[in-house]
Amino acid sequence: MESLKVTDVSKVYSQKNISLQALDNVNMTIQRGEFVIILGRSGSGKSTLLNIMAGLDEPTKGKVFVDGENISCLKEEKRTMLRRKKIGFIFQAYELLPALTVVDNIKLPQLKPDKGYLKELLRALEIEGYEKFYPDQLSGGQQQRVSIARALINHPSILLADEPTGNLDSKTERAVICLLKGLIKEYNTSIVLVTHNEKLAKDADRIIRLEDGGIING
């Protein structure tokens, strides 16, 4: 089954008299349970593509389908709801709220309370016992794991991760990647992870290379 499909997506950024084509006719299908890595140099369009997949940004042309539903056609409110239900987003800089505890950060986007699942996530992500801590009391790896728990709280169909290990040392990076691989099996979700780090590529089911806004293989 398809989790996510991108058809003929282009993105042009226009400012005054300058326009820049960040994406050029991108097509991609992600199957449920797949771990896909998008590799590309800085400026190749990775973040633009991921933001469009998440419905955080709109394509200039083309469509994005999440579980078969065309999100480009939805009004802002409906798109936001679909995003909360179906998409988990993991940011490079974690984006935790400093004034909230670990558990309140994780529960922030939650649509339906589920104490059992929350406990399960805390355990799976090895942050049990840190529920009442604040983000600045945690290591980088722990903060990233909290942000992963937050991304999983609504049982998303797909996890989108923008250079999620870019701020971690290589040992912690490995641990986070292994954990993500285990989680997608356990929760039957998919991952699209974008990175410029070739070393991560061997972990993926599939690698897609992006260059100047276009896919050069896959």
Contacting positions for Mg ion (CB under 5 A): 46-47
In the bound complex, which residue of the shown chain has the CB atom lying closest to Mg ion? 47
Binding site partner of 13, from Mg ion, ligand ADP, none, Cβ cut-off 5-8 A by kind: ligand ADP
At 165 the three-state DSSP class reads coil
- CB 120 → ligand ADP: shortest distance, Å? 33
List beta partners, residue 179. Answer: none
Residue 113 is classified by DSSP as -
- CB 133 → Mg ion: shortest distance, Å? 29
Binding site residues, ligand ADP, CB under 6 A: 13, 20, 22, 40, 42-48
Q: How far apart are CA 116 and CA 105, in angstroms?
A: 17
Q: Which is nearer to ligand ADP, 3 or 195 (CB)?
A: 195
- CB 101 → ligand ADP: shortest distance, Å? 31
Q: How far apart are CA 45 and CA 7, in angstroms?
A: 16
Binding site partner of 48, from ligand ADP, Mg ion, none, Cβ cut-off 5-8 A by kind: ligand ADP
- CB 59 → ligand ADP: shortest distance, Å? 12
Q: How far apart are CA 59 and CA 21, in angstroms?
A: 11
Q: Are 201 and 39 in contact (CB under 8 A)?
A: yes
Binding site partner of 45, from Mg ion, ligand ADP, none, Cβ cut-off 5-8 A by kind: ligand ADP
Pairing of strands 69-70, 214-215: unpaired
